[in-house]
Structure 1
Amino acid sequence: MALKQFDFAYGRGRKQFAVEDSLIIKEVRTEQFEPMTDIKQGILDAIYNPIGCAPINEIIKPGDTVAFICNDPTRVANSFDFMPVLVDEFNKLGVKDEDMHILFSLGTHRDMTHEEMVEAVGENVASRLQMFNSTCHIAEDFEYFGTTSRGTPVHIHKKLCNVDHVILTGTIVHHYFSGYGGGRKAILPGCAAMETVRVNHSFMLDENAGLGRTDGNPVYEDQMEGVALFAKGRSLFLFNAILNAQHEFLRMFAGDYIAAHKEACKFVDRVYGCAIPKEADLVIASCGGFPKDINVYQMQKTMDNACCAVRKDGVVILLADCEEGSGSKLLEETFRRLSTPEAIKAELEQNFRIGANKAYAVARPISRARFILVTSLDRQMAKEMLFTAAVDTVEEALEIAKQYVGETPSIVLMPEGSLTVPRVE
């Protein structure tokens, strides 16, 4: 028996622990790719050698009007790096500054301040182009394009409707119920009305809605159908980037919003998807420390990723400080009233509310495996949120885990749990 020592990020510090080396079947880490060194050239290469459509100079003509869609602050995008290059290049193609504007894809998030807009795209671009929030609850700002086959009314922001070209920008990561970010998500949910988002997101309750999944995923398919209703007869062009954990550019993809996104998702799987030999009895995962474990709301992403590595009814030991508690009063209130994942799902099926859906996002992994938290979270709150236990050290968590998986469980370690998505190969 040889114990191996580990040191995982936890809050603003670290946690040390040891496990039997022979029990470890995989330590899951992101694949290392060299970051891009010439950002400007990378952007130009992408838009002049696009996937699935003509180069940008054959699409954009002098005097055309353009709307750029940019991410809000909840998504790391590095828009300040690529937007100046794109705007300057469009100038060279004959598009004036006054004929371009930016719409920030907020989805259901709060409005951005002017300062946040400037920070997002950089002072140069912010001083030249008009910038707008897509505020989901201002009904008169949206135009109706029909209803999807699943019943989602498609209301898209008017700032995208009366231009010659819509440029979808952003980054792509795995998404816990719509498969992947980026691509069509810039428009739906990004620039859609509240009711559009609410109905679309209600499909997250379907068991086929999940990480890295597009085929058969009702959320993804409904988004694609909704955007297609808007896109009919319109010029849409995608510019998406893939970043590493340090927010450096790894690769850029541009072109047709469907074809280029599909290619980009394959690369996302290479960077963040990690092969494991089998599902483990026990997963020990860290969110990656602060701010990824600042609260339960943020911690949830790691819960989903860990579920990809653990067998049904196995155990996940999750290192998540949660210095700010739950991160959502609605999350707490939902768990206080409803004591099982099934009850939460049943209520959402009757009355799907944005915000309350996060309670289901936390409860769904718990219906697959037992979660033992190493955390500073209030113990009563952890109990109400259906966690098996909440303790101070990994050693305590391991002792509790033995009750469910025995003395010699197969183990997968996830030191970068919020980023890595294990898959059995």
Structure 2
Amino acid sequence: MKQYTWHYGEGELTFSIDERRIAAELHMATTPVLDNPVQAVKNGLDHPIGSKPLRELVHPGETVAILANDPTRVANSHVFMPVLLDYLNEAGIPDSHMTIVFALGTHRRMTEEEMIDSVGAEVAGRVKMINSYAKDSDDFVELGTTSFGTPVRFHKACVEADHIICTGSVVHHFFAGYGGGRKALLPGCAEYETIRKNHSLMLNPAAEIGRLEGNPIYEDQVEGTEMCRPTFLLNVVLNEAAEFTGVFCGDYIEAHKEACRFVDSQNGVRITERTPIVIATCGGYPKDINIYQMQKTMDNAVKAVAPGGTVILMAECREGSGSAILDETVRTFDSIDAIEESVRADFQIGRHKAYAVTRLMKKADFYLISSLDDAYARQAFFTPVHSVEEALALADKKHGGDAKITLMPYASYTVPLLR
């Protein structure tokens, strides 16, 4: 028996498995960690991709809106944000002319403490910080409609600024292709209806992980973003330990595509078989903060499990589902098919996540170790369990005691690719 200790929330869970049953343990590629991330950011600002250096794009007296991740997306903003502010100061932009806009999308508002923790106390004491909360409709300005029919409304702090700088991290995204890039603005700083209409395009089969070209979600987002075009992009790529492996600065489209290619080489993991059982974690907090975020791990785990197999998933979900509408959906509809029908009939943010979660349950059973109430977990079509050992005993009854197992200790970051 071999013992494993994996991240769970901000703590750990330990379990043991017969080593002979392990077909593979999936990790992202070992990519060199940047020795000096601060210097890498400075180099990126002065030697960008597809753009002039940032100092040549901004001018004294102008205003800048800097878009930043919320707590559900790790970007290590506290490392690069002071560098960015100092750089802008040198280019003639005082702190008083900068605003950090937290790109929440449809997520909850951040607290003052969370904002400070995200960017660091020094930065928080220098510049104004605000939430872009999608349901505060008075905070948004309408700019037009995309060819996909999406009404484009962005936060006034973005629209009124002379320059927008998008920041954040790049990872695979289950329907938008990849995170980062234009997503800081749309959906990050967009009004609720803009996000709802854009995300409704996820029902198109071309809206899939690892795809930009031909992906209607991505193309709609770019079309909308062009109505309030960002001046510059500062995206980072991190490894499983949240260490910097890449910094990509420049044009918000070209630099982002370079980052996506890098993410493919780092996070895409080749496998030779799909196994009957997969054991996975999100990699701990904040990736397992709620079902909303956990779903991305589920998508990746399904890529490693054999059809009709079992995924044993460890995800704390300290904030429950993360969506009142998701809660309402799973309590209203008594089947997976009924949820899909409801989404196709009336697409709503939150309900779409219930669909994204439950559609995967047609491919595999999910045994969930979490802090969710057991009754709610069952209502959401999971099988609640309280240990890996308990889950394995159930899986072995289904697949046999010698069924092969794939381990995914950082499943939110690793995308299995079958050879």
What TM-score do you get using the length of structure 1 for normalisation?
A: 0.88
Alpha-carbon distance in 1 for matches of 2:372, 2:403: 27
Q: Does the 8 A contact of 2:101 with 2:157 survive in 1?
A: yes
Contact 1:237 1:255 in 2 (8 A): yes
| 1:266-292 superposed Cα distances (whole Å, 9 cap, x missing partner) | 222233221111333332223345665
Of 230, 245, 265 in structure 1, the residue corresponding to residue 260 of structure 2 is: 265
- 1:150 to 1:24, Cα distance in 2 relative to 1, 3 A: same
Separation of aligned partners in 2, 1:135 and 1:390: 33
- Residue equivalent to 2:247: 252
Deviation track 1:126-160 (CA, whole Å, cap 9, x = no partner) reads 33333332232233332222212221101112222
CA distance in 1, matches of 2:387, 2:72: 31
Change over 3 Å in CA distance of 1:405–1:206 after alignment to 2: farther
Q: Distance in 2 between matches of 1:328 and 1:93?
A: 42
Task: Out of 296-305 and 314-323, give the one that drifted further.
Answer: 314-323
Task: Identify the match of residue 338 of structure 1 among 318, 333, 340.
Answer: 333
Contact between 2:73 and 2:287, CA under 8 Å: does it hold in 1? no
1:9 aligns with 2:3: no
For 1:224, which of 222, 225, 250 is the aligned residue? 222
SS in 2 for 1:229: helix
The alpha-carbon distance between structure 1 residues 320 and 188, as it changes in their structure 2 partners (threshold 3 A), is closer
- In the alignment, the residues of structure 2 paired with residue 136 and residue 75 of structure 1 have an alpha-carbon distance, to the nearest angstrom, of 17
Alignment root-mean-square deviation, CA = 2.6
Does 1:308 find its partner at 2:308?
Answer: no
Q: C-alpha displacement at 1:337, in angstroms?
A: 2.1
The CA distance in 2 between the partners of 1:326 and 1:64, in whole Å, is 41
How many Å separate the matches in 2 of 1:324 and 1:165? Answer: 35
- Going from structure 1 to structure 2, the CA distance change for 1:340 and 1:207 (only over 3 Å counts) comes to farther
C-alpha distance 294-259 of structure 1, shift in aligned 2 (>3 A): closer
Contact 1:61 1:95 in 2 (8 A): yes
Tell me the residue number matched to 1:154.
152
Q: Amino acid of the residue matched to residue 16 of structure 1?
A: F
The corresponding residue for 1:170 is 168
8 Å contact kept, 1:8–1:286? no
Give the deviation of 1:202 after TM superposition.
Answer: 1.8
Contact residue 240 and residue 253 of structure 1 kept, 8 A: yes
CA contact (8 A) 1:25 1:277 kept: no
Deviation for aligned residue 1:334 = 1.9
2:119 to 115, 118, 121: 121
Alignment match, 1:134: 132
Give distance in 2, aligned partners of 1:293 and 1:143: 33
Deviates more, 1:110-119 or 1:197-206: 110-119
2:54 and 2:224 mapped to 1: Cα distance?
Answer: 25
1:342-383 Cα offsets, whole Å, 9 max, x none, are 211211222222222221122021122222335565443333
SS at structure 2 position matched to 1:397? helix
Distance verdict in 2 for CA 1:6–1:122, change over 3 Å: closer
The alpha carbon displacement at 1:424 in A equals: 1.3
Asked if structure 2 preserves the Cα contact closer than 8 Å seen for 1:188 and 1:197, the reply is: yes
Aligned position for 1:242: 237
Q: Which runs of 5+ in 2 are unaligned?
A: none
Q: Secondary structure at the match of 1:128?
A: coil
User: Cα gap change, 1:35/1:381 in structure 2, threshold over 3 Å: closer, same or farther?
Assistant: same
* Contact 1:10–1:321 (8 Å) recurs in 2: no
CA contact (8 A) 1:167 1:236 kept: yes
Residue from 340, 344, 347 that aligns with 1:349: 344
Query: What SS class does the counterpart of residue 30 from structure 1 fall into?
Result: coil
Matched, 1:319 2:314: yes
Post-superposition CA distance 1:219-267 (Å, at most 9, x none): 2222122112332xxx521001112233322211000100100111122
Tell me, yes or no, if the aligned pair for 2:72 and 2:287 is still in contact at 8 Å: no
1:67 deviates by 2.0
TM-score by length of 2: 0.89
In structure 1, what is the equivalent of residue 375 of structure 2? 380
Q: Deviations over 1:155-208 (max 9, x none)?
A: 112222233321111112222322221100010011111110111122223333
Match of 2:412 among 394, 409, 418: 418
Provide the residue aligned with 2:395 in structure 1.
401
Partner Cα distance (1:165, 1:357) in 2: 33
**8 Å CA contact retained: 2:7, 2:281:** yes
- Secondary structure in structure 1 of the residue aligned to 2:107: coil
Q: How does 1:39-78 map to 2 (within 5 A)?
A: 39-78=37-76
Give distance in 1, aligned partners of 2:385 and 2:121.
Answer: 47
Go from structure 1 to structure 2 and tell me whether the alpha carbon gap of 1:134 and 1:322 turns closer, same or farther (over 3 Å shift).
Answer: closer
Q: Is the 8 A contact 2:6 2:14 kept in 1?
A: yes
SS at match of 2:217: helix
Change (3 A) 1:406 1:32: same
Q: Which amino acid aligns with 1:134?
A: S
Q: Which stretch shifts more, 261-270 or 135-144?
A: 135-144
What 5-or-longer segments of structure 1 have no aligned partner?
none
Q: Which moved more, 1:343-352 or 1:401-410?
A: 401-410
1:281 aligns with 2:279: no
The residue aligned with 1:103 is: 101
Deviation of 1:413 after TM superposition, in Å, equals 1.7
Instruction: Please point out which of 323, 343, 354 is paired with 1:359.
Output: 354
